[in-house]
Amino acid sequence: MTKSSTRNTIQYLRNLPALRFHQNWCGLSMSKPRIAVIGAGLIGLSTAVCISETIPTCSVTIISDEFTPNTTSDVAAGMLIPHTYPGTPIYQQKQWFKETFDYLFAINNSSEALSAGISLVSGWQIFKTSSNAELPFWSDIVLGFRAMTEMELKKFPQYRFGQAFTTLKCDCPSYLLWLEKRLKGNGGEVHAKRIANLWDLQNNYDIVVNCTGIGSRELIGDLKIYPVRGQVLKVHAPWLNHFIRDGDGLSYIYPGIHNVTLGGTREKDSWNLSPDPNISKDIFDKCCALEPSLQKAQDIKVRVGLRPSRLAVRLQKEILVQGEKKLPVVHNYGHGSGGFSMHWGAAKKAARLVGECIASLQDSLPKAKL
């Protein structure tokens, strides 16, 4: 793709109603505010892109010790099926999910869909008893949500009830690369470095955005964040095009553009990144019970990731103070099992908070002679 066609596409995406950006929320007078975004997983990349597009007068630099394909975000299935955060109000989760769905749906409907790795996928969420099946808060955001018919349920003799709907799926490494290219196309920079202390950034940046996921436990000492280990298989089974998800959330088959993700596990407080062959066999057997044609799947790869889990996503401003010095920080981490489902809505909020920090710095300019 040429530079000018990339520019045209970005302009096209910007003009889509679902992607219309809130520009100029703060009349900047700082010449070029310097923003450092720590973390190059899904949350860091999407937040950096969103800042670079909503506040085009600032410079955005991502600093991270790991990049795709070595982040938790690369392991994910990338399905837009939200997980519920008990400590975040439902109206807030619904708004973030809707903003994310609308944004990815617009990309899915553009010529960028393949390079961004975005696809629409229909399928079934099935339950052994209908009493376990609540109407999810996101049922009116995904497309065509309805109860499964008797005919559809015949495929799953062990199950009594099900919900059918169409949602979106990200091919995670493709989407991360696409976001990185978009950031660079907007003039953003990317540096490989581990950050041990946020104050180390104070000399070179005006505002720091913390998107370090599970790394926040060590970097800022947040003991409320904990890992939920997930092991999945990525297999080649191109004949599959419908997703199947057991309502317990533990067994799932998610077909994507390049492979099918079979899952999975949720092991709270486990930091173990080594694949467990017994778990792989268990996942494969359970998925074959749901979809027997998977016996013919090929090229089976095992991946493990640590979901950065927290009762509530941390999306807020904090002003760090050290003597006379101040460092504005915007936190955006703790998306647990639902980062893909919420990321763009969360990135928009983080970008608004960065805008507020810039406005405060600007207000303090005459006094502090910054």
Could you tell me the smallest distance in angstroms from the CB atom of residue 53 to ligand FAD? Answer: 18
**CB nearer ligand FAD, residue 264 or residue 355:** 264
Could you tell me the smallest distance in angstroms from the CB atom of residue 370 to ligand FAD? Answer: 26
Please tell me whether residue 341 binds ligand FAD under the rule CB under 6 A. Answer: yes
By DSSP bridging, strand 226-236 and strand 298-309 are: antiparallel
Cβ atoms 244, 164 nearer than 8 A: no
**CB nearer ligand FAD, residue 188 or residue 264:** 264
DSSP state string for 262-321: EE---EET----S--HHHHHHHHHHHHHH-GGGGG-EEEEEEEEEEEE-SS-EEEEEEEE
Please tell me whether residue 349 binds ligand FAD under the rule CB under 6 A. Answer: no
Please tell me whether residue 307 binds ligand FAD under the rule CB under 6 A. Answer: yes
DSSP state string for 105-152: HHHHTSTTHHHHTEEEEEEEEEESSGGG----TTTTTSEEEEEPPHHH
Cβ atoms 48, 60 nearer than 8 A: yes
The stretch among 13-21, 36-44, 153-161, 279-287 that binds ligand FAD (CB under 6 A) is 36-44
How many Cβ atoms sit within 10 Å of the Cβ of residue 84?
Answer: 13
**CB nearer ligand FAD, residue 234 or residue 361:** 234
Contacting ligand FAD within 201-260 (CB under 6 A) = 211-215, 219, 230, 232
Instruction: Give the whole-angstrom CA distance, residue 253 versus residue 234.
Output: 10
Please tell me whether residue 38 binds ligand FAD under the rule CB under 6 A. Answer: yes
Please tell me whether residue 66 binds ligand FAD under the rule CB under 6 A. Answer: yes
Could you tell me the smallest distance in angstroms from the CB atom of residue 150 to ligand FAD? Answer: 29
Binding ligand FAD by CB under 6 A: which of 36, 37, 49, 195?
A: 195
Please tell me whether residue 167 binds ligand FAD under the rule CB under 6 A. Answer: no
Please tell me whether residue 123 binds ligand FAD under the rule CB under 6 A. Answer: no
Please tell me whether residue 65 binds ligand FAD under the rule CB under 6 A. Answer: yes
Strands (DSSP E) contained in the chain are: 34-38, 59-64, 118-127, 143-147, 161-170, 189-192, 207-210, 226-236, 242-246, 252-255, 260-263, 267-268, 298-309, 314-322, 325-333
Contacting ligand FAD within 39-58 (CB under 6 A) = 39-44
Residues at the interface with ligand FAD (CB under 6 A): 38-44, 64-66, 71-73, 75-79, 194-195, 211-215, 219, 230, 232, 264, 305, 307-308, 333, 335-341
